[in-house]
Amino acid sequence: MFIVLPTLALFSLLLTLWQWVVAQNFPLHRRLSFKAHTPTVTLLKPLKGLDDNTMNCLRSWLDHDYPNETQILFGVASAHDPVCELVRQLLEEYPEANAQLIICREILGLNAKVSSLIQLLRLAQHDVIVVSDADVLAPPDFLLHAVAPLGEPEVGLVNCFYRLANPVNTAMRWQAVAINSDFWSQVLQGQSLAPLDFALGAVMATRREQLRRIGGFEGLADFLADDFQLGNRIVRAAGNRIALCPVVVDCFSAPMNWRESWAHQLRWARTIRVCKPLPYALSILSNATLWPLLWWVAQPDRWSLVILVMCLFTRIVMAQDLQTRLGHVRGQVWYWWLAPVKDLLQGGLWIAAFFGNRIVWRGRELRLQRDGRLVAG
């Protein structure tokens, strides 16, 4: 104990500094300074339900500034979904857009999003396919930058970082630390060790050929982490690499209380644990609040206190800096104490992820199998 806790505390600090450095070196928000690859594009947009942000999120894709033909397919599982009327309003507002509302009635797997994607892809007119979640708001030039890397033949998929744009309460601000500070910088930290072999699901751009090589979306219909599976299969089966677009999009979440936020983070933790078991198991080592605190509790002397204060200060400043770099969030107020609180709660989530395989997703309780597939009940 005399050696273990000090070692873990110092090691967690080094990992945190490494994470901060790689994030600083990524060209976040950089725009193209040359003529880009601009093929024709089909955007697949699975939808379910609506909230106060849905209109603006969908409109942002119709307002895009892309120099070539774009087809947009909005997919809804039920004609009675209230989002259908909103989409019809937008189609009337943008009569010149090559856009359609598609009712995806077939149930092709437990992942409703993938079920819609399978049906939408059948109607795609173009070879470049972009998939975007319903809650994503993109800047006008996003599509240009997201598609451009596909001009390189070895690039099989492009994705981007995203920020939680509406942390309206303290529980969601806790999640904002996880997403707007830690998630994107941890992805870059992992990429500094090995090329990405998974995708980030907010927006993904690929080619029809890559989808054909992996058997289309059909093979993803019963997986929770369809984004991970899509990127992983394109890298492993199709032999391509994944590129990161430097332009960031906004994601808007329905308001969540602490219980709902915990359930959401636990689902995310269990998903990562299944998809990346060894990296997830080792991720606890980078907790630069937990280990210094445990050292100080076990050995409350001057040096443990100094290291604890140093780690807390570094952690808070880093979290603030990374959130600021990712971009301004509506009504953003910095709660400095949430960074160490997030770390301590993350320790609990890390443990909980290994005990149980049940998740709550879109109001349904499902079981997550060892290979990442979903099972009802």
Close Cβ partners of 109 (under 8 Å, ≥ 6 residues apart): 115, 220, 221, 222
Q: What is the pLDDT of residue 188?
A: 97
Q: What is the pLDDT of residue 233?
A: 95
Q: What is the mean pLDDT of each run of 10 residues along the chain (377 residues)?
A: 88 96 95 87 96 94 94 96 96 96 94 95 97 95 95 95 93 93 96 94 95 94 92 89 96 92 91 91 96 95 94 95 85 80 96 86 77 81
- Between CA 237 and CA 244 the distance in angstroms is 20
- 41-168+195-256 maps to CATH 3.90.550.10: yes
CA count, 13 A, side-chain hemisphere, 220: 24
Contact, 60 vs 138, CB < 8 A?
yes
- Between CA 323 and CA 328 the distance in angstroms is 8
Close Cβ partners of 190 (under 8 Å, ≥ 6 residues apart): 196, 279
Q: How far is CA 363 from the centre of its chain?
A: 20
- Residue 58 phi/psi, 5-degree rounding, is -70, -40
The closest of 43, 72, 200 to 131, measured between CA atoms, is 43
- Residue 32 phi/psi, 5-degree rounding, is -70, 140
H-assigned helices in the chain: 4-25, 54-62, 83-93, 112-121, 142-147, 170-176, 184-191, 208-213, 226-236, 258-275, 277-282, 290-298, 302-326, 338-353
Beta bridge partners of 369: none
Q: What is the pLDDT of residue 377?
A: 63
Neighbour tally for 360: CB within 10 Å: 13
Q: What is the pLDDT of residue 283?
A: 95
What one-letter code names the amino acid at 329?
V
